[in-house]
Amino acid sequence: MGFSESVLDKALHTEISETVIIYIVLAILVFGLLFAVIFIKQKSEVFSTIPNVLRIQNTQNSSLDTFLTPFYKQKASFMDNITGASDLAKNEMALVNFVPLTVTQPGFIGPAIDGVFDEKNGVSKLVRTGIRSFVLMIDYHEDASMKPPLYAEMNMPCLLSRDSGGTVRSLNSGSIQKICQTLADSAFGFAAPSPGDPLILTLYFLRTPDPVSNQKGFLRYCSQVAKELAPLTQYHLGQTSLGSYTRQARQDYLLYDPLTQIEKKVLIFSNLDTSLFRTAKPAYQPREDLDYWIHLRLFKDSTNSLGVTQPLTQNQMARGIVDTTQYFTTIPPENVAAAVNKTKIRWCMAISDVGTNPAVNKVTIMTDTIGVQSIPLMIVTLSDEEKNLLMIWKNTCWKVKPKNIRFILPSVFTPAQPSKQLNANQGQITSPSL
């Protein structure tokens, strides 16, 4: 009996020992595999460090310059188009009849993954091509590991390059102030092929602090954006012989007013409701008041998710609309005429999915059939696709709409009155100086 138990114990002990050895081997294999995956990931990942950012900036700037060189040639300017270079009739000379070449996230020079911002070099190169319409996708981050000097402070307005899942893919953030400074330095001087042309800057807010539950935080955030626009002060469209354009006071007329009013001026459009500044106590100084800076507000006419853009409500009339490229390119044929009637009296902007550009044929539909004025393009991959898109504006960065979809100015023009919620007391304001 004792002998049998001894043999059984030995067998059990041997079986347990073999099982333990198998588990140990499996554990070693699993940990080895995890280590290999982490090692490979670290080898392929580009970390956000100053040397890496500088290295990529140098590489991308060289590639961008080569890519844009064919487009540096002189083109018909905005002023050329209203003085004989186009077939615009006198009663068609209105901003609403133009389709400017528009670039989104100026200063982001790529690549799409592990790309970098270089505001001075990136923006100045775009200005050299004659581009006068830019869209800033204003965002913020909440990641404590993303620190200055490469990134903006947490919860502060900046530009970021994200993928479709919302992950930040840029190795640094873009500065609104640096972009505005570069525009002020280059867009209205000898570096620009058409320094007398107007410049359109669209502030497209992806998100902000909640204006209801965090009103003070919202105002501080927006005021910071206003402060960063400061380099453009001398070119900001303000008081004129026709009245003040600040606080959207003349947004009902801006798209139809004499084009000489906007020569060598910066026009600022936005999808954000900034009306809280009008009742803020204490009042913000004009330089720090984002509402003061904005000339025209963009709404949406659909249920699509478009940053902080608010939908039109019943009986509202807006002079600016933003929606998706899909929205504008899938309009049923029977509804095209109605869509054209809207684009004749509104500034319309078509936003593409994150990280994508619309196809050339889609752009043609939007500009030549529907009458969309602004289609922000990314110049990041430096691909043939991007080159073909730029070729649409090869002769002028200010395309004129086809004649059949232009707005015709009547001899006596009085725009329909919009909702009082859309402007600054219907224009009855005192306009202080910046």
Q: Over the stretch 268-282, which tens digit does the pLDDT of each residue have?
A: 999 999 999 999 999
> For residues 59 and 114, what is the distance between their CA atoms, to the nearest angstrom?
13
pLDDT single digits (tens) 197-249? 999 999 999 999 999 999 999 999 999 999 999 999 999 999 999 999 999 99
Q: Tell me phi and psi for residue 240, to 5 degrees.
A: -135, 180
Q: How would you classify the pairing of strands 199-205 and 266-270?
A: parallel
Q: What are the tens digits of pLDDT across the range 305-345?
A: 999 999 988 777 899 999 999 999 999 999 999 999 999 99
For the cut 60, the answer to whether the pLDDT of residue 424 exceeds it is: no
pLDDT digits (tens, 9 = 90+) for 9-38: 555 555 556 666 666 767 676 665 555 434
DSSP string computed for 190-202: TTSS-TTS-EEEE
pLDDT, mean over the chain? 89
Contact 301, 314 (CB under 8 A): no
Amino acid in position 302: S
CA-to-CA distance for 251 and 317, rounded, in angstroms?
11
User: 40-44, 184-188, 393-397, 411-415: which has the minimum mean pLDDT?
Assistant: 40-44
* Strand runs labelled E in 346-420: 347-351, 398-400
Domain 49-427 superfamily per CATH: Phosphatidylinositol (PI) phosphodiesterase (3.20.20.190)
Radius of gyration over every alpha carbon of the chain, rounded to an integer in angstroms: 27
Query: How much is the pLDDT for 42?
Result: 40
Angle between helices 50-68 and 119-128 (to 10 degrees): 0
The pLDDT of residue 15: 58
- 201 strand-pairing partners: 134, 268
pTM: 0.86
